[in-house]
Structure 1
Amino acid sequence: MLRVAVVGSGPSGCYTAQGLVQQHPGVRVDVLDRLPCPYGLVRYGVAPDHEKIKSLQNSLRAVLEHDRVRFLGAVPVGPGGVPAARLRELYHAVVYCVGAATDRRLGIPGEDLPGSWSATDFVSWYSAHPDAPGRAPDGSPADGGFLRGVRSAVVIGVGNVAVDVTRMLARRAAELTRTDVPHSALTALAASTVTEIHMVGRRGPSQARFTTKELRELTTLPDTAVAVDAAELARDPASADPSALPPAQRRNVEVLRGWAAAPAPRARRVIRLRFYLRPVELLARDGRVAGVRWERTVPDGRGGVTGTGRYEDVGAQLVLRSVGYRGLPLDGLPFDPASGTVPHRAGRVLRDGTVAPGEYVAGWIKRGPTGVIGTNRPCAKETVMSLLADAPALGHRDLPGDPLAALRADGVDPVPWTGWRAIERAEAALGASLGRDVVKLPDWDSLLAAARSAGP
């Protein structure tokens, strides 16, 4: 019997576990997660109004309910948790599927002002992530700290996460009542005074990373207009004739050209899509964010941009940066700070250029923060094939027994699948008490209390 630990229960971890049990009848997989809840970014990163994508949880559930797969939540790996070396003692192989856990920063003056946040902070708040910021920088509750007194918001970035947070800023609370958004966030969104949202990229529309489907959703928001500056589109050499662009970029440019040519309808809120503006400073008033200073950029002929020395200020009481993610070093594993990934060869971890037996990676910590959810399937498959090719050598090592018993003896108290099901029941009950459907529990205490109510 080959025992494998998969660290991380998001799509990458679940696809890895699925591939292992499908390809090898003698494999047993423990899927470990530091959170008491499974599904990773499908639960805590997909916007609550994207119910079709969130339904992927049903497929991931089938993996975690397989008779040779065991979910163990609330098991941190690394400092303060289970050391990587201990996992190697308890399992024949360990696959790390921990994603890219931090945001890239802008590195400009004013970035740490109250009112300046990463998009991940905002997503965590409306997704009820238990690690979401508990209080705003000014000491007020985060529920009101994001949106209180905000009339104009700036989202820096033009990828799908930027579109998500822009859309959520413009959503009416009534449209979210049937989702699992936490009740405190719903209340804050209902009281929102945001009337203007700027989504801004430093390059042109043909380099934007959002998908056309996500982009078009912006025009489906009630009482919300979308405005595009035709002059900024014209600065993109590809916008005049997008026919030579790859299909995804061509469709984006065509949609944006259509919006720029049409008069924006009158609406209570307006979303302004801006291009060729690079943030150089966050402006302050009374110790808080009051706006963003931008430098106008132009194409440099090599796919990048160069500054022009011309500047423009845009007033804003909330700034959300959405300029990419980075992996974090994993205690006990090698790490490449330049790429934010673990060095590997076809998923096999490399230590000083040499394969480390029994250690593997998949997902963003392997390849960097690229692709969509489905990209994790071929990525996981490559790692699974490497691991199974190594299985004859790995399986010769004797293990001390059931890893779960050993973890408990070490003082770890995992949340089993029955604990997760108890959390689901508690969230359904919370929703019913509020006259809604399922509503997420928003903090560690309530999640763990629900999980422990199921017993050992």
Structure 2
Amino acid sequence: MGPGGACWRGGGVPRGLKRWLSSSAPAPRVCVVGSGPAGFYTAQHILKHHGGARVDIFEKLPVPFGLVRFGVAPDHPEVKSYGAEDNRVLGIPGENLSGVYSARAFVGWYNGLPENRDLKPDLSCETALILGHGNVALDIARILLSPLHLLRKTDITDGSLAALACSKVKRVWLVGRRGPLQVAFTIKELREMINLPGARPVLNPADFTGLENAIKDAPRPRKRLTELMIKTALKKPGVKPMEAQAAAPREWGLKFQRSPQEVLPTTDGRRARGIRLALTRLEGSGDSAKAIPTGDVEEVECGLVLSSIGYRILPLDPAVPFDTQRGVIPNSSGRVEGVPGLYCSGWVKRGPTGVIITTMNDSFDTAHSVLEDLQGGVLDVSTSREGFGAVESTLRSRGVRPVSFSDWEKIDAAEVARGKAAGKPREKIVDPQEMLQLIGH
């Protein structure tokens, strides 16, 4: 699975279940596929509450932790949270032009995800446009506009730091289909963006007309978030415009009620030069409000377009059921429908939403189901199974040498040592072949 979810055979502790410490209790073998947060949290919980369980975790990359390592902005090491195997496509003309990238690929590039190490995004334009109003969109805007001295202290890769050092981007627009009351980012991330050194927010006061009344009865997080946007939009600069521009040579802003219609090409038809946006009106209110095109359009000049409209889960295997409409494995509390003994967690279970605490609680819920099924005799643990021993012999017969956790510790030590020399927490190795050479494979 991708790092946004985990599947395995075999949360809170099931009510009434005590930790199994009896030496005569069956010793189930649990196989977890995917070493992201969902996989680790579930493994942790099963091991904590079943004294005899043995858990093997399998990962396609030579390094563990999924999008804890690869998904979150390098200047947010305390968050480390989201992911899935693929990105949603825009489905509009021009999205394959040079200069148009998915958020997933761009985030993977600056975070050292091996599959994105050769992305080489063109940062030679002055204006970038991000489609999406979530935390990932704010992450990307912040990375594009952050002073280099702040980024140098993080584990951002050397290659992406060098590219950002040469970047000409000085303006970033974040565009959403709906209005201020439907933005998906959180107040902490917005406040950090507003206070970013050298970059000033550009919010149109007209976008927030009448919202003070609309949010009177809104939940407190939504109310505080909207109040911060209103305050920022109405804030009068204390210095003259020219002085403000000199103090903050870069800027970013939020555009609401605009839906992407077409990425506009340069005259040679190869690169993005701008984007045509359909203006929308809202039907309904709150999170359920729908964006309906009005018939009016707007063109925005930009040479870099980043799509942050969500992630997409890919089917795992024909033997595993998959709901293509919802993009999840059909399940009940993590139990995969129609396949006894198979469970799922993370985004493959509930769809690509939520942050690390959501994934943690969701993983505990699936662990609850596994432990319940073990206690209830639903799972057959009477026959001994070899677990990784059987898999390892199969791999070796195919000439495949797996990377062990102790191998990962060698890679980890090398990255930390390289980072220390550069004054960073770590310098990620982005080439899997270099990782394998480092451990003698």
TM-score norm. by structure 2 comes to 0.86
Matches within 5 A, 1:65-84: none
Q: Which residue of 2 aligns with 1:376?
A: 359
Change (3 A) 1:446 1:409: closer
SS in 2 for 1:313: strand
Given residue 258 of structure 2, which amino acid in structure 1 is its aligned partner?
L
Closer/same/farther in 2, CA of residues 263 and 105 from structure 1, 3 Å limit: farther
Gaps of 5+ in 1: 57-97, 136-141
Does residue 396 (structure 1) correspond to residue 382 (structure 2)? The answer is: yes
Alignment of 1:40-55 (within 5 A): 40-54=66-80
Question: Which residue number corresponds to residue 304 of structure 2?
Answer: 318
> CA-to-partner distance for each residue in 1:323-367, whole Å, 9 max, x for gaps?
0111100013111000111111111111xxx3x121110110001
User: What is the distance in 2 between the residues matched to 1:301 and 1:229?
Assistant: 23
Distance 1:318 1:418 in 2: 41
Q: 1:397 to 1:358 in 2, by over 3 A?
A: farther
Indicate yes or no: 2:106 matched with 1:134: no
Name which of 84, 104, 117 aligns with 2:88: 104
Counterparts of 1:133 and 1:254, CA distance in 2: 39
Residue 208 (structure 1) shift: 0.5
Q: Specify the alignment match of 2:323 in structure 1.
A: 336
**2:35 pairs with 1:9:** yes
Structure 1 residues 122 and 239: CA distance shift in structure 2, 3 A: farther
The percent identity for this pair of structures is 40
Spell out, residue by residue over 1:174-194, the C-alpha distance to the aligned partner (whole angstroms, 9 max, x if none).
Answer: 111111111111111111111
Question: Residue in 2 aligned with 1:445?
Answer: 433
Instruction: Output the CA distance in 2 between the equivalents of 1:279 and 1:335.
Output: 29
Confirm or deny: 8 A CA contact 2:258 2:280 kept in the other structure: yes
Change over 3 Å in CA distance of 1:99–1:256 after alignment to 2: closer
Query: CA 1:194–1:369 in 2, change beyond 3 Å: closer, same or farther?
Result: same
Is 2:111 the partner of 1:117? Answer: no
- Secondary structure (helix, strand or coil) at the match of 2:352 reads coil
**Counterpart for residue 170 of structure 1:** 145
1:415 aligns with 2:403: yes
Instruction: State the shift of 1:300 in Å.
Output: 1.5
Shift of 1:400: 4.7
Partner letter of residue 396 of structure 1?
S
* Secondary structure in structure 2 of the residue aligned to 1:105: coil
CA apart distance, 1:232: 2.1
**Cα–Cα, structure 1 residues 400 and 436, in superposed 2: closer, same or farther, change >3 Å?**
closer
Among 188, 191, 206, the alignment partner of 2:166 is 191
Give the partner amino acid of 2:85: A
- Which segment is superposed worse, 391-400 or 105-114? 391-400
2:334 to 328, 337, 347: 347
Partner residue in 2 for 1:225: 200
Q: Contact 1:10–1:41 (CA<8 Å) still a contact in 2? A: yes
Among 292, 298, 318, the alignment partner of 1:306 is: 292
Determine if contact 2:31/2:56 at 8 Å carries over to the other structure: yes
SS in 2 for 1:371: coil
- Is contact 2:71–2:83 with CA below 8 Å preserved after alignment? no
SS at match of 2:138: helix
Alpha-carbon spacing, 1:407–1:171, altered in 2? closer, same or farther (3 Å): farther
Counterpart selection for 2:216 from 221, 240, 243: 243
| Whole-angstrom CA distance in 2 between matches of 1:435 and 1:17 | 34
The alpha carbon displacement at 1:404 in A equals 4.8
SS of 1:357's equivalent? Answer: coil
Unaligned runs of 5+ in 2: 1-26, 238-243
- Post-superposition Cα deviations, 1:166-216, rounded to whole Å, max 9, x if no partner, equal 111101221111111111111111111111100111100110100010111
- Give the stretch that moved more between structures: 413-422 or 123-132: 413-422
Preserved CA contact (<8 Å) 2:257 2:281: yes
Q: Deviations over 1:276-316 (max 9, x none)?
A: 11111111103200011111111123511211111111100
What residue is the counterpart of 2:56 in the other structure?
30
Aligned to 2:65: 39
Q: After TM superposition, give the deviation of residue 221 of structure 1 in Å.
A: 1.5
Give the secondary-structure state (helix, strand or coil) at the position aligned to 1:447: helix
Question: Match of 2:192, SS?
Answer: helix
- C-alpha displacement at 1:51, in angstroms? 2.6
- Mapped partners of 1:376, 1:126: distance in 2: 23
Shift of 1:52: 2.4
Match of 2:234?
A: 261
2:277 is equivalent to residue 294 of structure 1: yes
Question: Take 2:330 and 2:106, find their aligned partners in 1: how far apart are those partners?
Answer: 31
**1:146 matches 2:146:** no
- Are 1:427 and 2:415 matched, yes or no? yes
RMSD over aligned CA atoms reads: 1.9
The question of 1:357 aligning with 2:354 is answered no
Counterparts of 1:225 and 1:328, CA distance in 2: 39
Call closer, same or farther: CA 1:334–1:151 in 2, change over 3 Å: same
The yes-or-no answer on 1:276 pairing with 2:263 is no
**What residue identity is the alignment partner of 1:154?**
L
Q: In 1, Cα distance between the equivalents of 2:37 and 2:435? A: 21
Is this contact kept in 2: 1:115–1:289, CA < 8 A? yes
Residues of 1 paired with 2:424 and 2:187: CA distance?
31
Partner-residue secondary structure (3-state), 1:52:
coil
- Residue 358 of structure 2 aligns to a residue whose secondary structure is helix
Distance 1:15 1:182, change over 3 A: same
